Amino acid sequence: MSEATAGKVAVPEDVTVDKATIKMLHLAQSKGIETIFDRAVKMKQCNIGTEGICCKVCSQGPCRIPLTKAIKEGTEPDNRIGLCGATAETIVARNLARMIAAGCAAHSDHGRSVAETFLAMARGEAKDYTIKDEIKLREVAGFYGIATTVDDNGVEVPRDKWEIAKEVGEICLGQWGQQQGEMIYLKRAPQLTQDRWAKHDVKPRGIDREVVEIMHRTHMGVDQDYRNLLKQGARCSLGNGWGGSMMSTDLQDIMFGTPYPNTGKINLGVLSHDKINIIVHGHDPLVSEMIVCAVNLPEMQEYARSKGANGYVVAGMCCTANEILVRHGMPIAGDYLQQELAVITGAVDAMVVDVQCVMENLARVSECFHTKFITTMPIAKCATGKNTMHVNFEEHAALEKAKEIIKIAADNFPNRGEVNIPSDTNRMVVGFSTEAIKYHLGGTFRGSFVPLNDNIINGRIRGVCGVVGCNNARMEHDEVHLALIKELIKNDVIILTTGCSAMACGKAGLLTPEAAAVYAGPGLAEVCETVGIPPVLHMGSCLDNSRILTAATEVVKAGGLGKELADLPAAGAAPGWMSEKAVGIGQYFVTSGVYVMLGVSLPINGSPIVKKHLEHDMEELYGGRWDYEPDPVLAAHKIIAHIDRKRAALGIDKARERVLMDMADRQKIEAA
Amino acid sequence: MSKLVAFAAIQGGYNIVQKAEGVYARALEKYGPDQKLEFPNTAYYLPIIYSLLGLPVKTLGDAKKPLEVARALLPPHVKSLNYLPYLGPLLDAGMAAILAEEIVEAIRYVEDPDFYIVSEEVDLEKGKIWLGAAEDTVFRKRGVQFVDGSAPGFVAIVGAAPNPEIAKEIALEYQRRSIYVFMCANQAGTTFSEQLVEAGVEIGWNTRLVSFGPDISAAVFALGFANRAAMAFGGVKPGDYQRMLLYNKDRIFAFINALGEVNAEWAANAAGCVNWGFPTLADTDIPEILPTGVCTYEHVVANVPIHEMIQKSVEVRGLKTTVATVDVPVAYGPAFEGERIRKNDMYLEIGGGSKTATVEWVTSAPMDQVEDGKVELFGPDIKDVPEGGSLPLAIVVEVAGRKFQEDFEPILERQVHHLVNYAQGMMHTGQRDIGMIRVSKDAVAKGLTIKHIGTILHAKLHQDFGAVFDKLQVKLYTDPKQAEEMRDKARKVYVVRDARVENMTDEGTDTYYSCTLCQSFAPNHVCVVSPERTGLCGAYNWMDCKASFEINPTGPNQPIEKGEVMDTKLGIFKGANEFIEKASRQAVTNVCFYSLMNDPMTTCGCCECIAAVLPSCNGIMTVNRDYTGETPSGMKFSTLAGTMGGGNQAPGFVGHSKYNIIQKKFLVGDGGLKRLVWMPKALKDELRDNLLKRGAELGIPDLVDRIADESVGLTEEEILPFLTEKQHPALEMESLFG
């Protein structure tokens, strides 16, 4: 790696606020190992690409049509076109639509593999998986109109869960290939939100069809109306948010358990000196769930001892981490930007990856240590690196494959060299699924979202913001999330978080209940104290952003805060987004009526018209819109201003009067 | 702070459930699983468990399941650092405690059957002051007050006041606001109930100061009462815990006053009550839970000074109460209505045992002859009579006003009874020329006089009926001769009046009246009152409804054009059906006024009587609320009411008033009075004269004696031979199921 040290390197203290990361970057640099942080300093971003005006959909290009200063200032007319005549609007919209398609494809394809495994399980073909949450199975069956009871000689009795599961699996899987009509889960949204979708004709027919259609429409010489292209983007995104992602969350909950609040630990300090460290990294819990199960088997424990180890640490990275954290309390080693650093501790005996956000450089860094870099998915292999290997994961023999992987890690344990594990860890409380929030706001008997609404209406809570998404090596690691979130909670905005944003919060201590008294405004702090929750609620992986949709829908249903998602004093933010999945997620929130704030611009600045369409016109269409503000504190205040506008529209910007009821008032109460 | 509450309440939940498990295990060993478990004379089994979990506990063995539910509800203890959310777990722990306590209290009825007195009143002489679960007659009677608004809510007072005098002050203030006081638990052995007794306050259901029990577990009687109301009047189905608890939050305005030091078990109970939406206010420094949500407003409020407790309590619960302001030297309000004045406490008696002439008469007078607010006394006042003496009394109320109609006279007149009764230290029974009034020594010592009766009637009638008259004056005659003169005059008027009402028919008028007074509790129930079908609660006849509408045109009694008569025999009216469909929110679309077999009218649960079909006898029975025994239908009144209350149509059953039995249209759609084969003896005796009259009209003068009662039998098999022997007409009639 001599070429790495030859160039510029990152100044650790400037690129991150996380102590463990600073320590590890110093260590990496002292060892001459290059990381993404260094490459971000060395390598500039492409100006044309960031503006979205490079068209490479045919071999006559790439055509690049930069927005000049003169055009921007209006001294020159905007006559920019590509070889075929494509305008900046068409090129930017096409590129953005393709990003949405890619993002939705990624999440939804993950969902498909979950649905396939689910169906295999229901049919008894994947015996290592089972139904852990039968209540949720029956609830989900209800959404699909699947019978959950059967007639037994005139008596209605519960239907066999495996029968239900088979039907659920079949119908779910059918949603990917559905060609006509509309996707079933759309009807879970508030009616007025559905009405908007119908009015603007963006109800997706089937998941795959909308992705394919984007690929067709963005082919050379097809759809050349940016509004029409972005409309298809909106439609495709709903197929993911209210389809692939939501189904995946639900099916995973049924198979692996619906998350309920649980304690956990985060940061590189969770790695162990005397235990076999297995990192599960990526997004799909099918593999990691099995590894978590398998390490606890006596035979595996014995195997570890035979290798001189005192057991195992299964720690997660990225959203695979979130999946096993919220369900099992398994520790998180770190976020997306820390993946190379984990290997650099020298303590990782196996880096087991599934899909998405796995940096190819992991293979290179692993080479510098004993770490086995194990890919597991047939769709995600890696050609780089001497320590790289592939163990093909098969749902039909899931546990066996998990054991095989664990053994590779255990066999590798004695090969460890120098180990440098930073001591940093932080405690957190995680696992706030929609169901869990409901329960914790009123218990078994009175669980509902009403107390949340009530405290939003009375102003203790100003509003709700979902802060989600990636970490981005072009921004200060973690800080972009933390500065925004701290400013929001200081102003009584409660945060729902997922993905790498949740990890930033975890490392900074914002996911502890004690954080409310330290960081939250007085109203939010009081509510947090009453319920015993942190001011920032960890809802799961980035796939689980669908939980934010269902939670928001519950809020609408609980009443008093409008009739559609767009009425809510709520917003979304992805301050450090980087992947195409984030664009897909952002678009489904916008299309569902949510104001979405980005800290990194979409590649759209090459067309001011497309930018205006996304940041203004979409609000009229869907009730939500995109916005961009790189300064996290300013971004927070734009979000707060949006929330305040919504509060004013709802008439809850004023203090609420205490209503004392007499008998006549009680007679007016509608039937419950 | 909430964390401390959670910590304590969860601990308390564990203590209570663990103790309950111990009590249960010992009871099971001693009595076996088949031992009957119940709250005597009540429907709905153990009502909290039944209403929330849908489990009917009838035996000790049945109690195992709910106790297991309670155990399973207990959450982990709250950790000091990085703790998990506790609001939901806290409420679960509270619920666990309450479920366990209900079982413990039920077991107490087995182990110590004399601990509670099954009655409406306490028996101080025998030292029995703990009332326990309200028996069904009490529950129905009192529950109605929550329905009609004469009781705005209840406070559960837990613990004891700093001293008996303060206890008395608190109780009096709640009474003045008409709020029921449910008392339980003790503070170092002292109870609020005993403090009241010590301070000379009359306790019991009749004064709304209800001494449930000396332990915190007696709180279940208050919550059980609330849930029974929701099932009986609100139509909430057992097991539908969500609706049940929301019904309580929205419609039952209850709250808790914790007096004195709050321990973990009290905290668990307070947490349990939050499930119902009932907040707790304490006079000590306990952690508060102020953010709203599960309760309408705050959940736990601490450090409330005793003298602010009542004001603060109603505010926190979101309740508006009114204190009747009548210029009399004693306390005044509905809570004093049931107060008894015994011989020893009595200063003066009017009518009753003293046999002096009494009469109450409201009459119209020309405008220029009435001076509003004038109260005149003709004859001696109380102070002119020695202690223990008596007086005659004619109360003549003269009313004038452009809107006043003769028809309103009896309605105003009927108010005299309760308005006089509302004064503390004054007891009134009867009406018209059979009234009786007793005045207590205490009240006389405070300065109460005969003239105050006039003050009360003027103030209250103006307050409640001011819309229909302009001026009102009261003449009070205690001079024996004048009193008798007035009585004779009034008697002539009564005869004319009665004839007018009795002669009205359903055919003779096009307008009936709705009564949705009970919709605050039974949202889908609609009464329609016609001249020959008085309100099922017995309180409202057609004339009352008409007057009520005139008085309050937007109120619960609205005129209904009966419209096209779709079935004369069954009594189906197009206009009435349209109204009912709308007012019941589409729950009921067709009602037969005169039938229990076909689409009968619904009941809120407040009905005086319930008629039920007796298939083997080809007849109908009816039972009134006061009769607590079994009936040939296989169900007691309470069970019947439980089956059909809450605004549901239940063919085969119908609620009606006592008076309705002797009205000509009584169930004519099913064959009328001739179908009546069984009724309680007391009811038969009460209506005897009228039944004889009706029998004669139907051509069977001795019909009343052909009707069986409990002395004949309690099953259809037992009464059938009697009916055959007496040649009861029902046996010859066409089949009810034809």
Q: Across the interface, which of A458, A532, A662 has its CB nearest the CB of B85?
A: A532
pLDDT at A175 over 70: yes
pLDDT of amino acid B137: 80
The residue that leads in pLDDT, B543 or B512, is B512
Q: Across the interface, which of B88, B89, B556 has its CB nearest the CB of A667?
A: B556
Confidence of residue A408 (pLDDT cuts 50, 70, 90): very high
Q: Which runs of E-coded beta strand occur in B526-570?
A: 527-529, 559-561, 565-567
What count of Cα atoms within 13 Å lies in the side-chain half-sphere of residue B402?
0
**Domain presence at residue B246:** yes
**Domain presence at residue B245:** yes
Average pLDDT of chain A is 95
Q: Across the interface, which of A444, A445, A671 has its CB nearest the CB of B523?
A: A671
Interchain contact, A669 vs B250, CB within 8 Å: yes
Same fold, A88-254 and A429-650: no
Model confidence over A519-528: pLDDT tens digits? 999 999 999 9
B111 C-beta neighbours (distance < 10 Å), count? 12
Instruction: Give me the residues paired with residue B439 across strands.
Output: B348, B426
The residue that leads in pLDDT, A667 or A457, is A457
Token couple for A2: 């001599």
Find the mean pLDDT for residues B23-34.
97
Rg (CA), chain A: 25
Residue B291 near residue A526, CB atoms below 8 Å: yes
Give A608's contacts (C-beta < 8 A, 6+ positions apart).
A67, A72
- CATH code: domain of residue B343: 3.30.1650.10
Model confidence over B669-710: pLDDT tens digits? 999 999 999 999 999 999 999 999 999 999 999 999 999 999
Interchain contact, B84 vs A263, CB within 8 Å: yes
pLDDT at B520 over 70: no
pLDDT of amino acid B1: 55
pLDDT of amino acid B340: 84
Confidence of residue A1 (pLDDT cuts 50, 70, 90): very low
Average pLDDT of chain B is 91
* Nearest-angstrom CA–CA distance, B633 and B612: 7
Q: Domain end: B317, B350, B371, which one?
A: B317
Q: Across the interface, which of A531, A659, A667 has its CB nearest the CB of B85?
A: A531
Q: Across the interface, which of B3, B289, B520 has its CB nearest the CB of A667?
A: B520
pLDDT of amino acid A672: 44
Find the mean pLDDT for residues A164-174.
97
* Nearest-angstrom CA–CA distance, B308 and A660: 17
Report helix, strand or coil for B10: helix
Which is it for strands A493-498 and A536-540: parallel, antiparallel or unpaired?
parallel
Model confidence over B562-577: pLDDT tens digits? 999 999 999 999 999 9
Find the mean pLDDT for residues B543-557.
82
pLDDT of amino acid A165: 98
pLDDT at A6 over 60: no
pLDDT at A74 over 60: yes
Interchain contact, A451 vs B275, CB within 8 Å: no
Claim to verify: residue B255 and residue B363 sit in the same structural domain: no
* Nearest-angstrom CA–CA distance, B232 and A424: 61
pLDDT at A483 over 80: yes
**Domain presence at residue B548:** yes
pLDDT of amino acid B738: 66
Token couple for B297: 């407003």
Q: Looking at beta carbons, which residues of chain A come within 8 Å of B3?
A: 529, 532
At residue B500, what is the residue type?
A: R
Percent of chain A with pLDDT over 90: 95
Phi/psi at B271 (5° precision): -65, -40
Interchain contact, A445 vs B81, CB within 8 Å: no
Residue B733 near residue B618, CB atoms below 8 Å: yes
Give B507's contacts (C-beta < 8 A, 6+ positions apart).
none
Q: Give the count of Cβ contacts less than 8 A between chain A and B.
A: 147
pLDDT at B150 over 80: no
Model confidence over A580-623: pLDDT tens digits? 999 999 999 999 999 999 999 999 999 999 999 999 999 999 99
**Segment 401-430 of chain A within 8 Å of chain B by CB:** 427-429
Phi/psi at A561 (5° precision): -125, 40
Residue A375 near residue A282, CB atoms below 8 Å: no
Interchain contact, A532 vs B78, CB within 8 Å: yes
pLDDT at A112 over 70: yes
Give A27's contacts (C-beta < 8 A, 6+ positions apart).
A344, A420
Find the mean pLDDT for residues B268-282.
96
Instruction: Give me the residues paired with residue A416 across strands.
Output: none
Q: Looking at beta carbons, which residues of chain A come within 8 Å of B300?
A: none
Confidence of residue A671 (pLDDT cuts 50, 70, 90): low
Question: Which residue of B294, B298, B464, B586 is the best one to mutate when testing the A interface, meaning the one whose CB has the most A CBs within 10 A?
Answer: B294
**Domain presence at residue B322:** no
**Domain presence at residue B328:** no
Claim to verify: residue B145 and residue B54 sit in the same structural domain: yes
- CATH code: domain of residue B619: 3.40.1470.10
pLDDT at B607 over 80: yes
At residue B143, what is the residue type?
A: G
A123 C-beta neighbours (distance < 10 Å), count? 13
pLDDT of amino acid B695: 94
Instruction: Determine the distance from the C-alpha atom of residue B284 to the mean position of all C-alpha atoms in its chain, rounded to a whole number.
Output: 33
- Please state the three-class secondary structure of A153-214 as a single string: CCEEEECCHHHHHHHHHHHHHHHHHCCCCCCHHHHHCCHHHHHHHHHCCCCCCCHHHHHHHH
What count of Cα atoms within 13 Å lies in the side-chain half-sphere of residue B44?
34
pLDDT at A164 over 50: yes
Interchain contact, A441 vs B294, CB within 8 Å: yes
Residue appearing with tokens 């218990």: A443
**Domain presence at residue B323:** no
The parent domain of residue B544 ranges over: 511-732
Question: Which residue of B79, B274, B292, B552 is the best one to mutate when testing the A interface, meaning the one whose CB has the most A CBs within 10 A?
Answer: B292
**Burial class for A414, CB neighbours closer than 10 Å (0-12, 13-18, 19+):** exposed
H helix or E strand, kind and range, residue A375: strand A372-375
Model confidence over A116-163: pLDDT tens digits? 999 999 999 999 999 999 999 999 999 999 999 999 988 999 999 999
Q: Does domain A429-650 match CATH 1.10.10.10?
A: no
Q: Across the interface, which of A443, A450, A530 has its CB nearest the CB of B92?
A: A443
Query: Using CA atoms in the order B224, B227, B233, B239, what is the torsion angle rounded to 10 degrees?
Result: -130
Q: Which runs of E-coded beta strand occur in A415-564?
A: 426-430, 463-467, 493-498, 536-540
Confidence of residue B549 (pLDDT cuts 50, 70, 90): confident
pLDDT of amino acid A375: 98
Token couple for A512: 């502890």
Q: Domain end: B317, B348, B369, which one?
A: B317
Confidence of residue A4 (pLDDT cuts 50, 70, 90): very low
**Domain presence at residue B737:** no
Q: Which residue of A has its CA nearest to B520?
A: A667
Claim to verify: residue B206 and residue B341 sit in the same structural domain: no
Percent of chain B with pLDDT over 90: 70
* Nearest-angstrom CA–CA distance, A566 and A519: 28
Model confidence over A302-330: pLDDT tens digits? 999 999 999 999 999 999 999 999 999 99
pLDDT at A450 over 80: yes
User: Does residue A660 belong to the interface with chain B, where contact is any CB pair within 8 Å?
Assistant: yes
Q: Domain end: B499, B521, B542, which one?
A: B499
pLDDT of amino acid A2: 44
**Burial class for B236, CB neighbours closer than 10 Å (0-12, 13-18, 19+):** buried
H helix or E strand, kind and range, residue B428: strand B426-429
First-last CA distance in chain B? 68
User: Could you give the number of structural domains in chain B?
Assistant: 3
Instruction: Determine the distance from the C-alpha atom of residue B342 to the mean position of all C-alpha atoms in its chain, rounded to a whole number.
Output: 24
Handedness of CA B308, B310, B315, B316 (dihedral sign): positive
Instruction: Mark B322-360 as b/e (b = at least 16 C-beta within 10 Å).
Output: eebebebbbbbbbbbbbbebeeebbbbbbbbebebbbbb
Claim to verify: residue B237 and residue B305 sit in the same structural domain: yes
CATH topology assigned to domain A88-254: Substrate Binding Domain Of Dnak; Chain:A; Domain 2 (1.20.1270)
Complex-level ipTM beyond the 0.95 threshold: no
Give, to the nearest 10 degrees, the angle between helix B542-551 and helix B408-421.
80
H helix or E strand, kind and range, residue B31: helix B2-31
Confidence of residue A3 (pLDDT cuts 50, 70, 90): very low
- Please state the three-class secondary structure of A184-201 as a single string: HHHHHCCHHHHHHHHHCC
Q: How is chain A split into domains, by residue range?
A: 2-48, 88-254, 268-415, 429-650
pLDDT at B643 over 80: no
Report helix, strand or coil for A438: helix
Give A534's contacts (C-beta < 8 A, 6+ positions apart).
A428, A429, A510, A511, A512, A513, A515, A516, A528
Token couple for A500: 């790498």
Question: Which residue of A260, A445, A537, A657 is the best one to mutate when testing the B interface, meaning the one whose CB has the most B CBs within 10 A?
Answer: A445
* Nearest-angstrom CA–CA distance, A330 and A326: 8
* Nearest-angstrom CA–CA distance, B399 and A242: 70
Interchain contact, A441 vs B91, CB within 8 Å: no
- CATH code: domain of residue B89: 3.40.50.2030
pLDDT at A383 over 80: yes
Model confidence over B329-351: pLDDT tens digits? 999 988 888 888 888 899 999 98
Q: Give the Å distances, CA to CA, from B240 to A445, A519, B228, B674.
A: 10, 40, 13, 41
Angle subtended at Cα A496 by Cα A490 and Cα A500, rounded to the nearest 5 degrees? 105
pTM for the structure as a whole: 0.85
DSSP tag of A417: -
Candidates B223, B187, B247; CA nearest to B100 is B223
At residue A68, what is the residue type?
A: T
Percent of chain A with pLDDT over 70: 99
Residue appearing with tokens 């700093």: B162
pLDDT of amino acid A670: 60
pLDDT of amino acid B291: 85
* Nearest-angstrom CA–CA distance, A256 and A244: 17
pLDDT of amino acid B145: 79
Residue A3 near residue A463, CB atoms below 8 Å: no
Q: Across the interface, which of A427, A440, A450 has its CB nearest the CB of B87?
A: A440
Interchain contact, A443 vs B275, CB within 8 Å: yes
Q: Looking at beta carbons, which residues of chain B come within 8 Å of A529?
A: 1-3
CATH topology assigned to domain A268-415: Rossmann fold (3.40.50)
Candidates A232, A214, A245, A194; CA nearest to A622 is A194
At residue B114, what is the residue type?
A: D
User: Does residue A533 belong to the interface with chain B, where contact is any CB pair within 8 Å?
Assistant: yes
* Nearest-angstrom CA–CA distance, B398 and B395: 10
Interchain contact, B52 vs A531, CB within 8 Å: no
Confidence of residue B535 (pLDDT cuts 50, 70, 90): confident
Handedness of CA A151, A155, A161, A164 (dihedral sign): positive
